[in-house]
Structure 1
Amino acid sequence: MHEITLGRVSETRAAADSVRYRERLRVPWWWWLPGFALAGIIAFEVNLGIQSIPMWIPFVVLGLVAAAALTWLGRVDVRVVSGTAPHGETELWVGAAHLPVGVIARSAEVPKSAKSAALGRQLDPAAFVVHRAWVGPMILIVLDDPDDPTPYWLISCRRPDRVLAALNA
């Protein structure tokens, strides 16, 4: 039986079948309220300064800008996918960056209380960091790859225990 591939459709289906864990780091729902309030205040100010345009245009334009900005902030996916690496091993994907499980030496959860220390003086400038302020815990993944100058990954995620379990499975 021959499989018909339709570009991204078949890639997406194949990737969805092998996903062990997936999480999108969206902004909290309550961020949308101040975002639209700020857009409304700025639109009101624009209406006071420019009276030659219809009153509703700044509200629509700045409302769309606020929605686009909040959506853009929450665009990063954290996922663990099995069987996609060249040798069929599991990979950790964070946005467009990916890491084969074979190069992971150690991994651990960084609780919310230790997050500032991990991102402060102890942070190695060569580390790969994906930090989202609205996500409490993080995971630390120490690498053992002589070809990669990155010592470790520090990634925000809401359920670090599930990510680590998917990596170790």
Structure 2
Amino acid sequence: MNDKSKSVKFFEQLSWGIWIWSFIALLCVSIYLSVWAPLGNIAALLVTGISFAGFYSLSIKMRTTTKIEGQMLISNKAKIDLKFIKSATALDAEGFKRLAGVDADPAAFLAINFWSKTGVKVELKDKKDPTPYWLISSKDPKRLVKALVKAQK
């Protein structure tokens, strides 16, 4: 294989938005004040620091990564060869919400986040795989669809 076939043709990593970090900042202030009042400054700083480290670790664990590398679509730890992709559809907020909710197929693979409003439906054509489609969160679903179409050529 040449270097071009292994190159990354698309990369997107979704992590918590500013509104979640704002909430965590307020939560840390609340934790600090709750511990500071009865136990003092050092205990409050220690507990707040440990809490923030826990939140930060959780944010890293909850990140979603989607990439097209070589002839593979990779979403977190799941991989599929591009030859098994039938089609890809960019979904707006309403379509994404419906497909992740009331219209969801229980056999579908979901790589979604609660903070993402848009995504891509990737329909599969592998007869050996019972998974009908992948639903992937994306900030820019049209760019992911274009990258999939281009990579399949």
Query: TM-score, structure 2 length as denominator?
Result: 0.84
The residue that corresponds to 2:68 in the other structure is 80
Gaps of 5+ in 2: none
Gaps of 5+ in 1: 1-13, 83-89
Backbone CA RMSD of aligned residues: 2.2
Q: Which has more radius of gyration?
A: 1
Given that 2:116 and 2:137 are in contact with CA atoms closer than 8 Å, whether structure 1 keeps it comes out as yes
The residue that corresponds to 2:51 in the other structure is 62
Matched residue SS, 1:126: coil
- Report the residue type matching 1:21 in the other structure: F
Matched residue SS, 2:73: strand
* 1:151 maps to 2:132: yes
**How far 1:78 sits from its partner (Å)?**
0.6
Calculate percent identity across the aligned residue pairs.
Answer: 25
When structure 1 is superposed on structure 2, of 39-48 and 92-101 the one drifting more is 39-48
Stretches of 4+ moved more than 6 A in 1? none
The residue that corresponds to 1:97 in the other structure is 78
Given that 1:36 and 1:66 are in contact with CA atoms closer than 8 Å, whether structure 2 keeps it comes out as no
The higher relative CO (CA closer than 8 Å, separation ≥ 6) is in: 2
Matched residue SS, 1:108: strand
Matched residue SS, 1:54: helix
**How far 1:50 sits from its partner (Å)?**
4.9
Match 2:113 to one of 121, 129, 132: 132
Matched residue SS, 1:65: helix
**How far 1:48 sits from its partner (Å)?**
4.0
CA–CA separation in structure 2 for the residues paired with 1:49 and 1:122: 51
Structure holding more helix per residue: 2
Given that 2:88 and 2:148 are in contact with CA atoms closer than 8 Å, whether structure 1 keeps it comes out as no
Given that 1:40 and 1:62 are in contact with CA atoms closer than 8 Å, whether structure 2 keeps it comes out as no
Query: TM-score, structure 1 length as denominator?
Result: 0.77
Taking the TM superposition and a 5 Å limit, the aligned residue runs for 1:109-120 are: 109-120=90-101
Q: How many residues align?
A: 147
CA–CA separation in structure 2 for the residues paired with 1:118 and 1:67: 30
